[in-house]
Structure 1
Amino acid sequence: MSQNELLIVTGLHTDGVERLLSRLREADPDAVVVHHDLRDIAAGRLQRRIRDRRSDTWTEVHLAHGCVSCTLREDLLPTLRALAGRGRRIVLHLDPALEPDQVCWALDHVVVDDLVLTDLVDLRGVITAVDAATWLDDATGDETVAERGLASLPDDERTVAQVAVAHAEFADLLVHTGSAGDRDRVDAVLERLAPLAMRSDLLDLDDDALLLRRAHPLARRGRPDDVHAPLLRGTPPLVPGHGARLLVFSARRPFHPDRLHTAFDLLLDGVVRTRGRIWLATRPDDVMWLESAGGGLRIGRTGRWLASQAPAAWDQVSEERRALAALGWHPRFGDRAQDLVVLAHALDDDGIDAVEAGLRSALLDDAELAAGEQAWRTLPDPFGSRHTDPCDDTGTADLTAERSRGEEH
């Protein structure tokens, strides 16, 4: 073992996560488990728990502000920094309200004592506990994180579905820890949501799989997706299975913002996940990122199209993005395009066709397209710089949780 291995364990249901942690401690009795309980974070305090084979210690921590960024910067990252280098595997047990991609981004970018944590630890990846009896309901509902009682974070309007999907989508190993439930249907969804992740029952796991020694060669291992990366990771099934199916939507003309906003309802009913890049007619320079889970949806600016920038911008992006842009370059629109993937769990062929038809009807028609960019900029636009759905009374809202994919500079 590398002396500084780090595993991240997450999941919505405490009992299942605890069973998974017990199995990890059997596989490595010397491992140290770190956990931050965020249930009282709104009051500016949290409970930090550190346990190993010799001790189990709880410490109350007071923060400058009751928010996730303060939790990461002021205590979680410094705690991991202090434990790194002691020759033991570290298991970071995330509070259920935390999304693992946000934490992994911080591990790789936030400086602690002149270093980022990934300079000191080998981040092996993320393990997510799944209860097949409840996961699909969690991943498709509209209950908020606060209503579930997970945490009272400031301005947090995320749904439990957004958190449940984020836990599973970012996993390198998905472990069934509960009752069977509708296991085949849940696995069909997970196979399309996280196609490179290993899946197993807790009782069937051997140590090599549990410690992520047998992860897929292209496993994520804590690396967030680039906005311009392919939207289909690995090779998920493109044919329906146990009610789960994928729709890949692409187009080379912009969306009418108002009609797209109306079409959002189609992405919230019978759908587990929608994610991808969109191009709004009112914002021809901006790459917008859209993602939904269950009854929650958010959209925000995430950079600029290469077509809207000086030629030198090509040298500042990844080789993969340059290749994809060059391959699909349009003589008028450059690399601007719509690219969305919709993962449905309760839509038949007619339902999927209706989603695709709704998205196509939200594109500019021929007359609108011919009017040109100056006319496009005058179209009704219900979106602020960031937007969540359902809307507030003004029709615009800030995102409640920043993703790791920040704006490009």
Structure 2
Amino acid sequence: MAAQVVLVAGLTHHDVADELWRASPESVLVRHDLSGLADGVVRRWVDGRLTVLELAHGCVSCTLRLDLIPLLEGLDGRVIVHLDPVLEPEAVCFALSETEVDVEAVITVVDSATWLSDATGGDTLADRGMRAAEGDERTVAQVVVGQAEFADALVLTGDDPVLNAVLDRLTPLAPRQRLDDLDVTALLAAVPDNARRGGFDDGFGSLLYGQPPLEPAHGVSVVHFTERRPFHPMRLHNALDVLLEDVVRTRGRVWVASQPDQALWLESAGGGLRVGNLGPWLAAMDDWAEADAERRAAADLQWDPYYGDRSQELFVITRSDPGEIVAALRAALVTDEELALVSELDFADPFADWHEEMEI
């Protein structure tokens, strides 16, 4: 029988994994400490027994590939994995997707006193002395937002109406409990059938995962920006600052005039931004066989006779003025005059080279 894994994530110290272990007498508890990863050292506990591992390459991917994944593949029954604070559960689930191991649920612990400031700040993990390895340039915001967004259930250390309003929009399906009144068995039972449970899409799925509320609450607003004309690449690049000030999360597909066949993925959290290449739009593909049925059906519903499925769609959770975000993004679109000459113009393109992290 393959292992049924419960991942427990969170930047703050907590005993949720231990509580879950005690509530599941037949389970196995795995805990990792990556604080020595830069020196190639990983500490791992299995049911309290410590093993010190020395890796030739001190990186997160090596830790997953050479230690955690083989360990989980050799176990069965319920396994509770208490992730190191700087690990994002999505990366772990991506690695597990190539195995027979099933993800039962992802539980993330949210520090109610610090999460909002972390999620909208610009500190890097290196600034806090927490980076996983040399070259780890992630921000604290990218970690805490990613941990919460990917969760099937949340444990909060306190009660804050603004934080609750953000989480309603960031991860609307996830049930929540307070840490001081935690019943881990009831929390897991409350995870809905349509929860993510380690699953992820290819970037062309719905951005409004779980149908979050779109109306403002407690100063938290949602911008759902859609347009059917391309961005001017340099004006978009200059407009991105508006997504880095009091913005918890931006996720979306972007179409730039300089690369009409490629869909870009844009993602921000606090002061951290990622831009990547999702691959071609269906309109640029001769063969749709590799595109899943859901993507093809969605494209058919909004197909434009000229542009096909090319479009802008961004989902922004913000504590700033949503009108300012919409205005900045709309001003970055090509004008009618530029659109008429788009095939003849030579655009300066800051998005020409793909980087997971982009300096702006």
User: TM-score, structure 1 length as denominator?
Assistant: 0.84
Query: What is the CA-CA distance between 1:389 and the residue it aligns to?
Result: 4.3
**Residue 61 of structure 2 corresponds to which residue in structure 1?**
69
**Aligned pair 1:129/2:109, yes or no?**
yes
CA distance in structure 1 between the partners assigned to 2:251 and 2:113 by the alignment: 25
**Residue 121 of structure 2 corresponds to which residue in structure 1?**
141
Q: CA RMSD in A?
A: 1.6
Query: What is the CA-CA distance between 1:207 and the residue it aligns to?
Result: 4.4
Residues 115-170 of structure 1: per-residue CA shift (max 9 Å, x gap): x1xx2x33111000111111111111111012212234232111000000000000
CA distance in structure 2 between the partners assigned to 1:340 and 1:274 by the alignment: 7
CA distance in structure 2 between the partners assigned to 1:280 and 1:269 by the alignment: 23
- C-alpha contact (below 8 Å) 2:17/2:81 kept by paired residues: no
**Alignment match of 1:268 (pick from 244, 247, 256):** 244
Residues 220-259 of structure 1: per-residue CA shift (max 9 Å, x gap): 0011233111100122111111111100000111111110
**Residue 256 of structure 1 corresponds to which residue in structure 2?**
232
Matches within 5 A, 1:284-363: 284-310=260-286, 312=287, 314-344=288-318, 346-347=319-320, 351-363=321-333
Matches within 5 A, 1:167-206: 167-176=147-156, 178-180=157-159, 183-206=160-183
**Residue 79 of structure 2 corresponds to which residue in structure 1?**
90
More helix by share: 1
CA distance in structure 2 between the partners assigned to 1:287 and 1:270 by the alignment: 26
CA distance in structure 2 between the partners assigned to 1:387 and 1:4 by the alignment: 32
**Residue 197 of structure 2 corresponds to which residue in structure 1?**
221
- C-alpha contact (below 8 Å) 1:274/1:340 kept by paired residues: yes
Change (3 A) 1:301 1:130: same
CA distance in structure 2 between the partners assigned to 1:387 and 1:222 by the alignment: 22
Aligned residues: 359
**Residue 29 of structure 2 corresponds to which residue in structure 1?**
33
Query: What is the CA-CA distance between 1:22 and the residue it aligns to?
Result: 2.8
User: TM-score, structure 2 length as denominator?
Assistant: 0.96
**Residue 407 of structure 1 corresponds to which residue in structure 2?**
none
Q: Which runs of 5+ in 1 are unaligned?
A: 110-115, 392-409
**Aligned pair 1:60/2:52, yes or no?**
yes
- C-alpha contact (below 8 Å) 2:19/2:184 kept by paired residues: no
Q: Which 4+ runs in 1 deviate beyond 6 A?
A: none
**Aligned pair 1:379/2:353, yes or no?**
no
**Alignment match of 1:283 (pick from 259, 262, 266):** 259
Change (3 A) 1:207 1:65: closer
- C-alpha contact (below 8 Å) 2:103/2:197 kept by paired residues: yes
